[in-house]
Structure 1
Amino acid sequence: MPDSVEVGVMAVLSAKHAIGAAVEAARWAPSVHNTQPWTFSISGEEISLRADPDRKLRVSDASGRELLISCGAALYTLRTAMRCEGFEPVVRILPDPDRPSLLATLRPGTEAYPDESIKLLAGEIERRRTHRAGFADMPVPDNLIERLSRAATGEGATLTPVRSPEAVRVIALLTQAAQGVQAQDRRFSLEMIRWGRPPGSRRKDGVPARGYPRRPVHTDPDFPQRDYSWRHDWGSQADQRTATSVGVVALLTTPGDSRQEWIDAGQALQHVLLHASAYGASAAFHTQALEMGPLREFLRHELCSDEYPQMIMRLGITFDDKESVRRPLSEIVE
């Protein structure tokens, strides 16, 4: 039998492996425009997650809300990967008020054998994709929506499917209005264009040409997507015959609107996305109306029971095999 020293060495090596696996997984988290606005540092057996201010959207996300939601998704990915490696993570969120860019620290705690649900979620980390068009005309099972809502609740947020056709139409109209206003604002347009990648681009961030449709795919009611191609003949050719369904519109909300709750919303979002992906569902995001204060407040009071809307999404079925890109570890690990 191995002696106590050997057992201790094996435990340290196992923890280091879990740390490396967690950081590798976290780079696959979703982020607004695939900006990947995070960095990680490792000290001993502790991972620090920091916001990268150079990747903040200074026009559409002046408060940093979407940046912190993105980083919250990375934090949930760290937690899931570490659990899959056999450790219960010990997490501290916003541990130092004097260092606002330090969003969380995480280290391996007690050993814990991962159950099947954790393995299921971890298996979707690299497979999950954001959808940017209509969905196939196939229903998302109600019991899956219920499980997704429970997943969000477990992370401190609320996922509410919008069942009223009138409410869906209102959200679509608000999205259209915000998109129309932003399209007329040169600052918004230039900021978004920065993250749309042309065919053949070697950049490992932003939205690659195969990740967005060449022509707008209209749904009924219409939920416009970002125009990443911007007057260019870029993007993938969507199948107009089978990919025009709205899917299930859902609102992700939190009771308050603090930095902590933005991070919670990101963790809830990634939990929902990984669970949905495991059962064949994808999500399309619509943040246009949430980037305009008056429209976000209208949503909050009229459709969110005074909770703060953090994400508008559509959930549905798609058979697209999209490309996704991520920066190498050498660029994100300090």
Structure 2
Amino acid sequence: MTRYDSSDLWRAAAAGLQAPSMYNSQPWAFRLRDGAVEVLADPGRQLTVADNAGWAMRLALGAATFNARLALAWAGTPAEVKLLPDSTEPNLIARLTPAPRRAPTYTERDLHAAIERRYSNRQPFWPDPVPADVRVRLIEAAKVEGAWLDLLVGMTALTGFSEIAHSADRVLRRDSRYQAELVAFTDTGSASEGIPELAAATVTEAQDLIPQRNFGGRRRAPGRDYEPEPLVGILGTAGDRKLDQLMAGQALQHVLLTATEAGLASSLISQPIEVPTARDQLRRSLGRSGFPQIAFRIGFGQPGHPSPRREVADVLVG
């Protein structure tokens, strides 16, 4: 019987910790047990104000699981994944057991190569449109993981989203505890977590269609406005259980890596999901019966600045 070993664990964790997480909080751990690689939640890294219910943590853990899957498939031993495999161990998020050995597919190779090149680019993108064939690939990437992706087309849809996003952002800005937590993760000087100044967005200005989080308060250079008609994606699931949110995280990472492989940049927009009334408005604006789980913008842009990550040894547990 095939079993994963310590080198597989290291490989999976190295890929997993490159996943996106809210404020770069990195709420994950990895272990090897009975020949399986397991992904675990690290409750001590859950954001206590911005993510009191654990939604963002579960999206991050789903994304980390997808990266771990890719790393194992790239090495020739793909994984069979069971989400929430043990009800007696709530922090156990996913168990990856070895499937029969095979060579990685071309898609797996391409997406694996994109892991280290994917990071949130919060700077303005160029106005060049995302090609139609790439848009189709993004939608399919979400569908494969059991999620849906709506790409907003036209200024009517974008203006409606903008109003919802700005309204949610104003609610969050009025919460002093929320803002204090945001500041705690901003330009911390840490080499392993938080959002450094170079990776932060510039301060939102009156003409901006989409609000930016105030990571550091940098002003933008003259003539560097954000794109007037960005490509905004809304990713969602049929349900809103913990399992659905983990599935959404896997779908999100599949979409983001597909975009990265196509030469695109991306950044996440979570404010409309964090405020319940805004989330419901967003759902109704899409005409969807399901639940929006995250929004993001995608486009062509100049190289950004990745946020730091912990060392692999720091995320391994016995």
The interval holding the TM-score normalised by the smaller chain is: over 0.9
Structure 1 CA distance, aligned partners of 2:212 and 2:159? 16
Pair 1:141-2:127 in alignment: no
Write out per-residue CA displacement over residues 174-210 of structure 1, whole angstroms, 9 at most, x where no aligned residue.
1111111211210110111111115xx1331111111
The 3-state SS of whatever aligns with 1:118 is helix
Letter paired with 1:84: W
- Determine the structure 2 residue equivalent to 1:92: 82
CA RMSD of aligned residues (A): 2.0
Letter paired with 1:206: G
- Check the 8 A contact 1:15/1:108 in 2, yes or no: no
- Check the 8 A contact 2:41/2:91 in 1, yes or no: yes
Structure 2 CA distance, aligned partners of 1:256 and 1:66? 16
Pair 1:75-2:75 in alignment: no
Pair 1:293-2:276 in alignment: yes
Percent identical pairs in the alignment equals: 30
Alignment of 1:204-223 (within 5 A): 204-216=192-204, 222-223=209-210
Pair 1:57-2:47 in alignment: yes
Bigger radius of gyration? 1
Q: Shift in Å at residue 45 of structure 1? A: 2.2
The 3-state SS of whatever aligns with 1:76 is helix
Pair 1:247-2:242 in alignment: no
- Check the 8 A contact 1:25/1:77 in 2, yes or no: yes
**TM superposition score normalised by structure 1:** 0.89
- Check the 8 A contact 2:121/2:304 in 1, yes or no: no
Structure 2 CA distance, aligned partners of 1:54 and 1:186? 22
- Check the 8 A contact 1:136/1:242 in 2, yes or no: no
What is the aligned residue count?
317
Alignment of 1:187-202 (within 5 A): 187-198=177-188, 201-202=189-190
- Can you give the 5+ residue segments of structure 2 that lack an aligned partner in the other structure? none
Pair 1:158-2:158 in alignment: no
The 3-state SS of whatever aligns with 2:51 is coil
Pair 1:48-2:38 in alignment: yes
- Check the 8 A contact 2:230/2:298 in 1, yes or no: yes
Letter paired with 2:20: P
- Check the 8 A contact 2:165/2:278 in 1, yes or no: no
Aligned equivalent of 2:213, options 207, 211, 226:
226
Write out per-residue CA displacement over residues 28-81 of structure 1, whole angstroms, 9 at most, x where no aligned residue.
111111111111111242112111111112222221111100100000001011
Aligned equivalent of 2:11, options 21, 40, 54:
21
Structure 2 CA distance, aligned partners of 1:212 and 1:307? 31
Structure 1 CA distance, aligned partners of 2:8 and 2:83? 20
Letter paired with 1:324: S
The 3-state SS of whatever aligns with 1:125 is helix
- Can you give the 5+ residue segments of structure 1 that lack an aligned partner in the other structure? 1-7
- Determine the structure 2 residue equivalent to 1:320: 303
**TM superposition score normalised by structure 2:** 0.93
Judging changes above 3 Å, is the alpha-carbon distance between structure 1 residues 293 and 241 closer, same or farther for their aligned structure 2 residues? closer
- Check the 8 A contact 1:135/1:246 in 2, yes or no: no
